[in-house]
Amino acid sequence: MTVFAKIITGEIPADIVYENEFCIAFRDLVPQAPTHILVIPRKPIERLSAVEPADAQLLGQLLVAAKRVIALEGLCDARIVINDGSGAGQTVFHLHLHVLGGRPFDWPPG
């Protein structure tokens, strides 16, 4: 069971900023920007590569939730990141969107 699965069940605490029937958004424990929020599906999907065609609507819900979080945080601009696999920096194998804001972001990312 991942740490995010435990946040979903309430087994471990999180600073939840938004939730609905599809997903939960909470502040990252080690923020990489003044605003750093993770949006996760309630459904346990390991990573983006494990998504099935039937998850298409859920993926849309995650992006809509990210938009909601951006508005709630009052951000003008935001960076949305999905790390897919350990080589891309994924450390928790429960699909999640990073919503980052409050500072300038370089491109390409590191």
Q: In this complex, which beta carbon is closest to ligand AMP, that of residue 3 or of residue 51? A: 3
φ, ψ dihedrals at 99, nearest 5°: -110, 110
Q: Is 9 in the site for ligand AMP (CB under 6 A)?
A: no
- Number of residues lying near ligand AMP (CB under 6 A): 12
In angstroms, give the least distance from the CB of 3 to ligand AMP.
5
Q: Is 59 in the site for ligand AMP (CB under 6 A)?
A: no
In angstroms, give the least distance from the CB of 56 to ligand AMP.
22
Map residue 4 onto helix, strand or coil: helix
Return the number of other C-beta atoms located less than 10 Å from residue 20's C-beta.
12
79, 100 contact by CB (below 8 A):
yes
The CA-based angle 75-19-21, given to 5 degrees, is: 135
Give CA–CA dist 61/70, Å, rounded: 14
Q: Is 89 in the site for ligand AMP (CB under 6 A)?
A: yes
User: Has 36 been annotated as catalytic?
Assistant: no
Q: Active-site positions?
A: 96
Residues that bind ligand AMP (CB under 6 A): 3, 12, 14, 28-30, 38, 83, 89-92
